[in-house]
Amino acid sequence: MGRLFVYGAAVVSVVLLSLIYVILAAGAGDGTPVGGDDEILGTIEVRAFDIGFDPTRVQVAAPGRYTVSFFNDGTVLHDLTFADGTVFQAEPGQAANGEVVIPAAGLTFLCSVPGHADGGMRGEVTVAGEGAATPAPTGAEELRDLDAARTAQFPAETEGKGNQILEPVVQADGTKEWDVTASVIQWETEPGTVLEAYAYNGTVPGPQLRAEVGDRVRIVLHNELPEPTTIHFHGLVVPNGMDGVPVISQPAVMPGQSFTYEFTLRNAGSHMYHSHFMADHQVPMGLLGAFVVTDPNATDEPAADIDYTMILNDGPLGFTLNGKGFPATQPIVVTQGQTIRVRYMNEGLQIHPMHLHGIPQLVIAKDGYLLPDPHHEDTVLVAPGERIDVLVEATELGAWAYHCHILTHAESANGMFGMVTALIVQEP
């Protein structure tokens, strides 16, 4: 009950974030400001929550001067800082108003309070193409069709696929070795949404590493970032010098440098590896991956036909499952009668209750350790840093929605987005 109480409190304080488009003020679309310098073309309304903006994407019909109405619905100070330096700041429950000039190329905005932008408080104002903008959908049929069109894209094609198993190079002495390079990339989270990301070996999440208890492993980190970094092996029992914490256990790995982590695997389970330098920034930006360790001598390991790792993340890349947001997430496709082991790994800053429609989840392990009393849940709470393993018996035919049940991580006025996928159970 204690764990449920803590999680319940966390859910109450979770970020409320919506991805919707607001279409404002018709006007010319030729890339030049409309009217005189003092003419107000419309109003941009943005509300702040803890920690998010609503909306995060605003579209105006033409470049020019707009009134800004900013309201802070959160419990702490937030501001709306535009890329041109225009700032609107409001205490909890207060409003701030003023004006901003939107150029033809649009204008990004964020909350400049330390940590808030990296937690997801970012957005943009874009300018529509030629002609007047299309009004936001309001009628029931328009809303239905917009939602249906978005869902029909699933699973949408995007560039790049993360969380792919990387086979090690086995050295003469049996050591399993991986080279892992941290660098800045452009990552497509959903069709047409390409964002700057930090990545291991060019993907988000980084490659999945798999080995067995007793293996000697070596991970060589190459830093091609513009800032220092390290790797922490989250959940693994390692020597202190291999723990990846700057100053505490090792020097920070500077740009252009490499560092070798080497140790013998001692504990099985679902583990992770991620940055431990400016981790509040580097991990949400994509420096994360799965490290799955199995025990060849285990006699109590539950049997499964499919072993699937699902890495949860939130922040500058949005709400993602294995680095993608709906409709670009990948479904889990199985045959009726199969058993799926899902390894949830929360690399994000927020709690995510993962809900599977139609079929219960048998919770079998937490943080790499098998539970003495497995139990069924239909909504499994996964806190930041936690790993929860479940078994799903594919008994029911059909496509079953599978999503985070903090609904602002999964649904908006434009339909489903973010942390949504599906379990598709096919006939044998």
* pLDDT one-digit tens code per residue, 92-123: 999 999 999 999 888 999 898 876 776 678 88
In terms of Cα–Cα distance, which of 201, 314, 213 is closest to 264?
213
Is the preceding omega at residue 51 within 30 degrees of 0, hence cis? yes
- Alpha carbon 369 to its chain's center: 25
pLDDT for 57 equals 83
Over the range 68-82, which residues count as b (16 or more CB within 10 Å of their CB) and which as e? Answer: bbbbbebeeebbbbb
Give the SS3 label for residue 319. Answer: coil
Percent of the chain with pLDDT over 90: 74
pLDDT tier for residue 132 given thresholds of 50, 70 and 90: very low
Strand 420-426 and strand 398-404: the pairing is: antiparallel
pLDDT for 414 equals 79
Interval 27-57: pLDDT, tens = 333 334 444 557 999 999 999 987 788 888 8
Question: How many Cβ atoms sit within 10 Å of the Cβ of residue 119?
Answer: 23
Question: What is the chain's percent helix, strand, coil content, to nearest 5?
Answer: 10, 45, 45
pLDDT tier for residue 138 given thresholds of 50, 70 and 90: low
Q: What's the rounded mean pLDDT across residues 233-237?
A: 98
Q: How far apart are CA 180 and CA 169, in angstroms?
A: 12
Tokens representing 421 are: 């996928």
For residue 428, pLDDT beyond 80: yes
pLDDT for 176 equals 98
In terms of Cα–Cα distance, which of 267, 332, 339 is closest to 303?
339
For residue 17, pLDDT beyond 90: no
Cβ–Cβ under 8 Å, residues 420 and 363: no
At position 330, the amino acid (one-letter code) is Q
For residue 3, pLDDT beyond 80: no
At position 170, the amino acid (one-letter code) is V
Is the preceding omega at residue 63 within 30 degrees of 0, hence cis? no
Q: What is the mean pLDDT of the chain?
A: 89
Q: How far apart are CA 146 and CA 64, in angstroms?
A: 29
By CB neighbour count within 10 A (0-12 exposed, 13-18 middle, 19+ buried), where does 322 fall?
buried
Q: How far apart are CA 114 and CA 339, in angstroms?
A: 44
pLDDT tier for residue 22 given thresholds of 50, 70 and 90: very low
Strand 420-426 and strand 332-335: the pairing is: parallel
pLDDT for 157 equals 96
Lowest mean pLDDT segment, chosen from 139-153, 184-198, 279-293, 329-343: 139-153
Domains with residue ranges and CATH for the chain: 2-127 (2.60.40.420), 162-301 (2.60.40.420), 302-428 (2.60.40.420)
